């Protein structure tokens, strides 16, 4: 089953790249859980908690396209090293506030924004570097192999955070987060020359990019990219944005403490890990569109069923199905970009995709506001229904294109 993964990891640079991401994903997942939990303890309303998720994500919208330009022009391992340096400083600062009993909601929101900016640049550099280190016809398999680590970290991160917070406190959690980021930084130093930009290579890339008068026009002329990016917007708004409400539901409906809540959030990570492990073993996946459409609708329906559940085990199962669906969607999305986009344009297209990720925080605000008006469960059901309707309409350009070609 792991033959494809082992084959890809024979590439030295890709091997160190995946190891660095493994170290880097643990603090990424832990921090997103810890900050939401800390602010949920202090916040007077769910809307305030949703603003935390908004701060994590809005930099993707602001800096998404620019991050594509930066990834195209500069050494991507160096960009990732700078990102981890920022994360280390942020974690240490939060630890100081927590140890001195001066942590406030404002500190958490500022930290979330700083981390969101860093993650926006990391997101584009990481995804485009994956396609640079491995041949593009193996885009889905290489992305899945890289994301095996993310699946492991997503599974371990929330429960580890809940355990550490419960046993030794949030301050020490921040110290541990900074140590993992430092390990990622040291590992990335091993591949700092894997993406060395020369004047001639930059000039050649610019020449190839100028052949396309407009990146937007290029996307419009590819109906399959329109559909993939359109469903990606809905995914970022809803199916990748439910976690803060899952924490609220675990506390108020399922009546679970911080450690049990952390374990519940590992469900999605378990499903994500299983699917990326399976997809990484496949050298090529031909019918990517056949997988990406049902994976989107599967994630939406699973979240709606989670909202209706009042049983802890059933809730765990539903979130695991969300993880499977989201994992398949992300891997297929990168695979389709790798198939239909030239290597020179990949950083720019992924930069646009990063911008679309930045629309997601508005979904968090909507979910938070609806939760205050109704309740968290009804909020998920209303937004899920809307995503099914809009998602169906998003498929129309592709259906029209298929009909015209036939």
pLDDT tens-place string over residues 123-151:
888 877 877 777 655 666 677 777 777 77
Summarised one tens digit per residue, pLDDT across range 63-109 is 877 888 888 788 888 999 999 999 999 999 999 999 998 888 889 99
On average, the pLDDT of the chain sits at 80
Q: For residue 148, what are the domain limits?
A: 3-405
Contact between residue 328 and residue 289 where contact means Cβ atoms under 8 Å apart:
no
Contact between residue 318 and residue 305 where contact means Cβ atoms under 8 Å apart:
yes
Summarised one tens digit per residue, pLDDT across range 155-184 is 777 777 778 888 888 888 899 999 999 999
Report the alpha-carbon distance of residue 161 to residue 304 in Å, rounded: 26
Place of tokens 């993406």: 195
Domain count, the chain: 1
**pLDDT number for residue 288:** 67
For 146, left (φ over 0), alpha (ψ -120 to 50), or beta? Answer: alpha
Band (pLDDT 50/70/90 cuts) for residue 33 is confident
**pLDDT number for residue 43:** 78
pLDDT at 1 > cutoff 80: no
Per-residue exposure over 291-315, b if at least 16 CB sit within 10 Å of its own CB, e if not: bbbebbbbbbbbbbbbbebeeeeeb
Q: Is the dihedral of CA 259, 260, 264, 270 positive or negative?
A: positive
Contact between residue 355 and residue 60 where contact means Cβ atoms under 8 Å apart:
yes
Report the alpha-carbon distance of residue 8 to residue 108 in Å, rounded: 39
Place of tokens 């979330």: 112
Mean per-residue pLDDT, 302-307: 92
Per-residue exposure over 242-260, b if at least 16 CB sit within 10 Å of its own CB, e if not: bbbbbbbbbbeebebebbb
pLDDT at 282 > cutoff 60: no
Question: Which of 67 and 7 is assigned the larger pLDDT?
Answer: 67
Q: Which of 111-115, 202-206, 332-336 has the lowest mean pLDDT?
A: 202-206
Report the alpha-carbon distance of residue 228 to residue 232 in Å, rounded: 6
The upper half-sphere exposure of residue 388, i.e. CA atoms within 13 Å in the direction of its Cβ, equals 14
**pLDDT number for residue 381:** 92
**pLDDT number for residue 389:** 93
3-state secondary structure 109-139: HHHHHHHHHHHHHHHHHHHHHHHHHCCHHHH
Summarised one tens digit per residue, pLDDT across range 184-230 is 999 999 888 766 654 444 445 545 445 544 667 777 777 788 888 88
Nearest alpha carbon to residue 143 among 274, 346, 332: 332
**Number of CB atoms found within 10 A of residue 402's CB:** 11
**pLDDT number for residue 205:** 52
Share of the chain above pLDDT 70, in %: 87
Band (pLDDT 50/70/90 cuts) for residue 5 is low
Report the alpha-carbon distance of residue 279 to residue 295 in Å, rounded: 13
Report the alpha-carbon distance of residue 8 to residue 214 in Å, rounded: 34
Report the alpha-carbon distance of residue 48 to residue 253 in Å, rounded: 19
Q: What is the DSSP string of 341-379?
A: S-TTTHHHHHHHHHHHHTTHHHHHHHHHHHHHHS-HHHH
**pLDDT number for residue 303:** 92
pLDDT at 317 > cutoff 80: yes
CATH number for the domain that contains residue 146 = 1.20.1250.20
**pLDDT number for residue 202:** 45
Summarised one tens digit per residue, pLDDT across range 258-277 is 777 777 877 887 888 788 77
Mean per-residue pLDDT, 381-399: 88
Question: Which of 313 and 2 is assigned the larger pLDDT?
Answer: 313
Mean per-residue pLDDT, 12-37: 86
Summarised one tens digit per residue, pLDDT across range 340-349 is 777 667 777 7
Question: Which of 164 and 404 is assigned the larger pLDDT?
Answer: 164
**pLDDT number for residue 212:** 47
Summarised one tens digit per residue, pLDDT across range 243-253 is 778 878 887 78
Band (pLDDT 50/70/90 cuts) for residue 56 is confident
Q: Is 369 exposed, middle or buried (0-12, 13-18, 19+ CB in 10 A)?
A: middle
pLDDT at 403 > cutoff 70: no
């Amino acid at each position: 089953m792991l033959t494809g993964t082992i084959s890809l990891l024979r590439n030295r640079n890709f091997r160190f790249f995946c190891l660095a991401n493994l170290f880097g994903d643990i603090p990424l997942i832990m921090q997103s859980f810890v900050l939401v939990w800390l602010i949920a303890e202090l916040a007077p309303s769910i809307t305030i908690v949703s603003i935390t998720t908004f701060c994590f994500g809005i930099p993707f919208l602001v800096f998404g396209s620019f991050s594509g330009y930066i990834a195209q022009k500069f050494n991507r391992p160096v960009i990732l090293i700078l990102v981890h340096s920022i994360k280390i400083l942020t974690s240490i600062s939060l630890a100081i506030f927590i140890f001195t009993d001066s942590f406030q909601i404002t500190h958490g929101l500022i930290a979330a924004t700083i981390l969101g900016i860093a993650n926006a640049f990391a997101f584009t550099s990481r995804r485009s570097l994956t396609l640079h280190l491995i041949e593009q016809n193996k885009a889905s398999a290489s992305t899945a192999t890289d994301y095996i680590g993310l699946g492991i970290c997503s599974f371990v991160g929330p429960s580890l955070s809940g355990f550490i917070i419960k046993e030794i406190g949030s301050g020490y959690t921040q110290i541990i987060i900074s140590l993992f980021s430092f390990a990622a930084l040291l590992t990335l130093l091993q591949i700092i020359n894997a993406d060395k930009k020369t004047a001639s290579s930059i000039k050649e890339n610019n020449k190839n990019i100028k052949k396309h008068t407009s990146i937007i026009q290029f996307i419009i002329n590819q109906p399959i990219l329109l559909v993939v990016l359109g469903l990606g917007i809905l995914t970022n708004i809803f199916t990748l944005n439910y976690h803060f409400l899952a924490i609220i539901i675990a506390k108020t409906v399922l009546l679970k403490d911080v450690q049990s809540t952390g374990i519940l959030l590992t469900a999605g990570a378990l499903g994500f890990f299983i699917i990326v492990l399976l997809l990484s073993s496949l050298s090529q996946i031909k019918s990517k569109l056949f997988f990406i459409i049902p994976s989107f609708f599967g994630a939406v329906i699973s979240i709606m069923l989670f909202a209706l559940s009042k049983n802890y085990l059933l809730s765990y199962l539903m979130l695991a199905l969300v993880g499977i669906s989201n994992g398949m969607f992300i891997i297929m999305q990168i695979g389709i970009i790798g198939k239909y986009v030239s290597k020179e344009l990949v950083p720019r297209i992924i930069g646009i995709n990063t911008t679309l990720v930045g629309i997601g925080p508005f979904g968090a605000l909507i979910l938070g506001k609806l939760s205050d008006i109704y309740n968290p469960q009804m909020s998920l059901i209303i937004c899920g229904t809307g995503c099914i309707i809009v998602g169906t309409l998003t498929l129309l350009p592709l259906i029209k294109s298929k009909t015209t070609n036939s």
